[in-house]
Amino acid sequence: MASATKLCYSIRYEAEQTKQIMNNATSVQRIAHKTTFFWGIAWVIFFVLFFFQANSAIAAITGQLDFGSSGSDVVELQAFLALNTDIYPSVRITGYFDVLTQSATERFQTAQGIVSQGTPETTGYGRVGPKTLIRVNKLIYLIPTDPIRSSLVSLVEDGVVPLDPPTAGRPVHLKIPGINVDSVVEYVGMTSLGAMDMTKSLDNVAWFKLGKRPGENGSAVIGGHFSGGKNGNTSVFDNLYKLRPGDKIFVEDDQGNTITFVVRESRRYDSKADATDIFSSNDGKAHLNIITCDGVWNKYSSSYSQRLVVFTDKEQNKIGQF
C-alpha cells in the first residue's frame, strides 16, 4: 500500500513537473511572439517614417525659425503652410520669414493645439520652436512626392521663381480662337498632396498663382481639364492638341490689358516626368505655358497617363483690348 501511495505521489509529482515545464514553455512562446510582434511593429513604423521622409514632396525643416529668418528652411515651411490656404491664404513662398509667415504659423499652432496666445518670446506663439518644429516635420513626412510640386519647391530655392513686385495684372480671361476657347480664369495654388490644383469647372481655366503672371518675364502656367469624350463630357482643353506653332493665345488681365502669346511648340510628358521646364525659363522673356491631361484614362487612379503642354512666347508690343 505504501509503495502504491509512493508511486501515486511520484506520478502526480512528475505530472505537476511536466505541467509546469509546459506552462513555462508556453510563457516563453508567448513572450517570443509578443517580442516578435512588437519588433515587427517597430520595423513597420520605421519603414513608414523612412519611406515617407524619403518620398516627401517637402523636405524636413532642420532648425527653429523666427521672424526675420531666411533660407531653404523658410521655403519649406512656407511651402508646407501654403498647402492649406485657410492657414496661409497669401501662399507667398519667398524664403523670408515675414509678418504673413508669422501669422500663418500662429494659425497653424492654434489649429494644432500647440499654443494660441502670447508672443514669440513668452510662449513661442508665431515662431517655429521645438514643439512646432516636431509637429511640422511629422506632417511633412505624410506628404507624398509629386514631380511638379518638387520642381516648384526646387525652383523657389534656386531663386528661379522670386516673388518680386508684379509687373503685370492678374489674368481674368483666356481666349484661343483657333480652338474656340473663351474662358474665365480662376486662381489656384497647390493641393494637399503638393500638386498644382485645378478648377472644378470643366469650362474655366486655372492660373497657378504661386508662379508668374502672364506677361511677366518667366513662365506663367494655366491649366484646364481634358475629357476626351469620356462619359459624354466636353472640357475646355479637349482640342488643345490641335494648336500649331504660330497660333495665338490672348490673356486679358484685371487692368484691362490684353497680352498676346504665340505658340512655339507642344510636348507630351509622362505623368511622372520632370516638369521643371514648365514652370521656369531663364531667357529673360515672358512665356505662357498651357497644361492639360492627355493619353490613356486609368480608371483605378482616376487620371490620364500623360500631360500635354503648349509652350508660348509673348508677342512684343501687342497690348490692347479684346
91 occurs within a structural domain = yes
> Is there a single domain that holds both residue 276 and residue 208?
yes
pLDDT tens per residue, range 37-69: 444 444 443 333 333 333 445 668 889 999 989
> Is there a single domain that holds both residue 184 and residue 304?
yes
Most distant CA pair in the chain, distance:
123
44 occurs within a structural domain = no
251 occurs within a structural domain = yes
236 occurs within a structural domain = yes
Domain boundary among 144, 162, 186: 144
Sign of CA dihedral 148, 154, 160, 161: positive
Q: How far apart are CA 207 and CA 198, in angstroms?
A: 9
Total of domains in the chain: 2
191 occurs within a structural domain = yes
241 occurs within a structural domain = yes
Q: Which of 226, 260, 259 is nearest to 242 (CA)?
A: 226
> Is there a single domain that holds both residue 176 and residue 309?
yes
Confidence (pLDDT) at 5: 39
What global pTM score does this model have?
0.54
Confidence (pLDDT) at 45: 38
> Is there a single domain that holds both residue 265 and residue 196?
yes
Cell of 247: 497660333
* CATH number of the domain encompassing residue 254: 2.40.260.10
Buried-state track 270-285, b at ≥16 Cβ within 10 A, e below 16: ebeeebbebbbbeeee
The residue type at 182:
D
32 occurs within a structural domain = no
pLDDT tens per residue, range 127-170: 999 999 999 888 877 665 554 444 544 444 444 444 456 778 99
10 occurs within a structural domain = no
> Is there a single domain that holds both residue 76 and residue 184?
no
Domain that holds residue 106: 72-144
> Is there a single domain that holds both residue 113 and residue 215?
no
Q: What is the pLDDT along the chain (322 residues), one digit of tens a residue?
A: 444 434 344 434 444 554 454 455 445 455 445 444 444 444 443 333 333 333 445 668 889 999 989 888 888 898 888 878 788 887 778 788 888 899 999 999 999 999 999 999 999 999 999 999 999 888 877 665 554 444 544 444 444 444 456 778 999 999 999 999 999 999 988 776 667 788 889 999 999 887 889 999 989 999 998 887 676 778 899 999 999 999 999 999 999 999 999 999 999 888 777 766 788 788 889 999 999 888 777 777 667 778 899 999 999 765 444 4
Confidence (pLDDT) at 158: 45
> Is there a single domain that holds both residue 288 and residue 222?
yes
Confidence (pLDDT) at 304: 76
> Is there a single domain that holds both residue 89 and residue 230?
no
